[in-house]
């Protein structure tokens, strides 16, 4: 049976929860490749993200699309595990708004996009101390630390977190990506961040690229030790 990729993509893009769940259950019952099915649904999330960035839809619709995708993944998860393809989870991202900054909406949008795209996301919330990012990333075995700053008075915590990683000998262990209203590409490059996302779609694309690089480097390190 051929995977109805277009229908799965459209179900998410059109915010049709009933159809999305129906298609996911049918895919499991038919024994379709759960990883390919997941990728088909994930394409719909990208459509939703593009529409949000263009102002065609608003935050509630974006969050609802993320909730639908979470429900789809709950249906597909047993099949992914039994097929040995649960590794669809791309990587672990520890994310939060830096110390002194209580802005939450932009970060939450990025969390929705990353989660729906298959990342494991550890959301630390707002007003997160520098050392807390590092501690939680270490505990979670994270690939990426994502720092959000929405005020110029708080963005100084981005270079200070990077400096703490260097001081602890952990800078090569994690990739650091940054975003928020107080940050631009020039600032990110100047403080030594590995990536910058101007919006949720850019953040998702950057996280995907950074995660691939971390996995490749870890594989090379493991090969060198063996």
pLDDT at 221: 54
pTM for this predicted structure = 0.69
- How many Å from the N-terminal Cα to the C-terminal Cα in the chain? 43
Q: What is the mean pLDDT of the chain?
A: 88
Domains present along the chain, CATH in parentheses: 5-87 (1.10.1240.10), 89-225 (3.40.50.280)
DSSP state of 56: S
Angstrom CA distances, 221 to 106, 194, 212, stand at 35, 19, 14
pLDDT at 87: 41
Angstrom CA distances, 51 to 46, 55, 61, 126, stand at 9, 6, 10, 27
pLDDT band per the 50, 70, 90 thresholds, residue 183: very high
Please check the confidence at residue 7 and state whether its pLDDT lies above 90: yes
pLDDT at 84: 63
Q: For residue range 60-69, list pLDDT tens digits in order.
A: 898 898 889 8
pLDDT at 39: 82
Q: For residue range 71-117, list pLDDT tens digits in order.
A: 998 898 888 778 765 544 579 999 999 999 998 878 887 887 787 77
Please check the confidence at residue 22 and state whether its pLDDT lies above 70: yes
Weakest mean pLDDT among 3-17, 58-72, 174-188: 58-72
pLDDT band per the 50, 70, 90 thresholds, residue 169: very high
């Amino acid at each position: 049976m051929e995977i109805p990729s277009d229908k799965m993509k459209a179900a998410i893009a059109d915010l049709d929860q009933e159809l999305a769940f129906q298609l996911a259950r049918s895919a499991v019952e038919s024994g379709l490749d759960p990883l390919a099915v997941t990728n088909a649904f994930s394409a719909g999330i990208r459509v939703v993200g593009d529409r949000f960035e263009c102002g065609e839809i608003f935050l509630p619709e974006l969050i609802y699309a993320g909730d639908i995708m979470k429900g789809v993944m709950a249906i597909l998860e047993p099949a992914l595990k039994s097929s040995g393809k649960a590794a669809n989870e791309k990587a672990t991202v520890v994310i939060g708004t830096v110390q002194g900054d209580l802005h939450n909406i932009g970060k939450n949008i990025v969390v929705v996009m990353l989660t729906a795209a298959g990342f494991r996301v550890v959301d630390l919330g707002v007003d997160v101390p520098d050392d807390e990012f590092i501690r939680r990333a270490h505990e979670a075995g994270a690939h990426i630390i994502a720092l959000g700053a929405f005020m110029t008075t708080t963005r100084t915590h981005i270079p200070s977190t990077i400096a703490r990683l260097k001081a602890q000998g952990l800078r090569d262990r994690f990739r650091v990506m940054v975003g928020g209203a107080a940050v631009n590409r020039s600032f990110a490059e100047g403080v030594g961040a590995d990536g910058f996302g101007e919006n949720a779609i850019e953040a998702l694309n950057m996280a995907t690229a950074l995660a691939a690089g971390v996995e490749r480097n870890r594989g090379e390190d493991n090969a060198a030790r063996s």
